[in-house]
Amino acid sequence: MRRKRARSSNPNGCKTTATTLTLSGEGIENNNGKVLLPNSTSQPMLSTQSARGYSTLPRRAAILTSSQSQTGMISLTQQVNAVRLDTHKSDTFEQNDLVLDNSGAVLSGSRDALIRRLVPTRDFCPDEAYIFSLLVNIRTFISPHELMQKIVQYCMFAQNADSHNFAKEGRGRMFAHILRLCSEWATNIPYDFKTEYMRTRLNELLRLCAVDKTYQQKTTDLQATLRSSLNKLDRYEKAVANLQKALSENTTLPEQSDSMTGLFLMCNDAKTVAQQLTHIEMERFSMVGVDEIVQSLASDPLSEIGRHSKNKEGVISSISFYIEWFNRLSAFAAIEVLKQTKKRNRVAVFEFMIDIAKECCEIGNFNSMMAIVAGLSLPAVSRLKKTWCRVEKSKLEILQHQLDPSGNFLSYRATIKAAQWRADSARGNQPKIVIPFFVLLLKDLFLIYHGHPRILPNAHLNFMAFNQLAEQLRDVIQWKSTICTFEKNPQVLQYLLITAVSGEKDSMLMSFECEPPESSSEREQHKKLRGGK
């Protein structure tokens, strides 16, 4: 691919639960060290284009979509390698140069050159793809505060550079271009504007060219949308703090019973429960900002992405809280089975949980589906051989198919691609929900982020790598902006959110109450557990 040089002169808290999934160097592990997801060079799951044309969820589709995705990855890899080989430090590259392809698309550039290309003028405005890609990636090289300051300064210089900019037509064109930049930023990365400084600078930028009531109304509408997003975040963080406090104060251990107890007794309709889980998932997933994801990818190792970060008020990050929810739901699924001391009740609850997971899959709620499957695969449940042998074989096949890690979760990836196609093709009141398996999503994004150098040998920033990450984050924004329209069941929601769950030790003791230890190793384990009470 030929390249030309261009000067940068602007054209213009929960309790400890029974299991956790951990991202490690080997892949995704549970707390027993079992690798559920081995590291792989396979293409991550997020490209939507390869899912076009699949209206069902067949296993066969996995082969086709995986092949298409890998072809796209190879092409991009070749391009990135070509740029890397062709941009070693040289006197022919000036500090503010950009490297473009034949179509004029940016391949790489210095930090300042890329920022200058972001600045709108009367006659130029970058497209939305460039704006989003730069805004979401450049934060690892310059803070949003510093970036906003540069943009305001550059826009003021550009406006004052030409007297035509002060005519009504010129001001109108420049305002439209500034509004596009501000809208892309405030709509897709609103948490950058949590500080008074950023909101003030945003207002300064929008007031540069607002010449009549129409422009002023557009400015007011954008500011209202931003305030709504920030107010929602504030309410969410307060709710998280209150929920964590309530869970920490709930020291009651789950109780076992000879009669049917738990969720099945409250609501035995799997579809209704799946819909309530989707409400919870969408609330948590929608609050994870792409800015938070990028900062975690840049600063955290694979095993710790977003797990320990907190805001200034001490509230855990949205990523960490969402991962905690996954672990809690896994423990919840296991405990609901282990509460039942009678085998027929355990079998009924076990099959009920699989039905819920299946309904979650039908909705497009893959995070809840995987959490339930992981919970039913915990040692405390998997050792219940007498229970497992009574479970309907077709339901077991569903469980095994969705948890199959072969081919880097090939079956799951085919299913979510089909769900993406279905959501994109939905009309009217048809479901459009896609909630990915979040831990696997983070692993995929981590591999994308670290898969190519972000700084090239000539000190240029690798904008092709920026684009690849931004493309995937665009999908994330689309998924988490979907509105969940299912009717809420307050009783079921409350039960799912605050019901006590137990740790691994107590879960194993409950398991041994359900089915006594058989092997010598189990008897020894049971003895140690009872001795440690």
Predicted local distance difference test score (pLDDT) of residue 533: 54
CA 438 – CA 443 distance, rounded (Å):
9
Widest distance between CA atoms in the chain: 89
pTM: 0.81
Name every residue whose Cβ is closer than 8 Å to that of residue 288 and which is 6 or more positions away in sequence: 318, 319, 322, 476, 480
DSSP labels, 455-499: B-TTS-EEHHHHHHHHHHHHHHHHHHTPPP-SPP-HHHHHHHHH-
Q: Which residues in the chain come in under a pLDDT of 70?
A: 1-96, 165, 210-211, 306-315, 532-533
CB 398 within 8 A of CB 358: yes
CB 440 within 8 A of CB 72: no
Structure token digits, residue 156 = 């003021």
Q: 74: buried, middle or exposed (CB in 10 Å: 19+, 13-18, 0-12)?
A: exposed
CA 441 – CA 367 distance, rounded (Å):
10
CA 328 – CA 21 distance, rounded (Å):
11
Reduced to 3 states, what is the DSSP secondary structure of residue 108?
strand
Predicted local distance difference test score (pLDDT) of residue 453: 95
Name residue 108's beta-bridge partners: 99, 462
Strands (E) located in 144-251: none
Name residue 38's beta-bridge partners: 27
CA 498 – CA 500 distance, rounded (Å):
6
Phi first, then psi, for residue 470 (nearest 5°) are -65, -35
pLDDT, tens digit, 9 for 90 and up, residues 62-114:
322 333 333 344 444 444 444 443 444 444 444 458 999 999 899 999 999 99
Predicted local distance difference test score (pLDDT) of residue 132: 97
The H-or-E segment that residue 28 falls in is: strand 27-29
- State the first-to-last Cα distance of the chain, in angstroms, to the nearest integer: 68
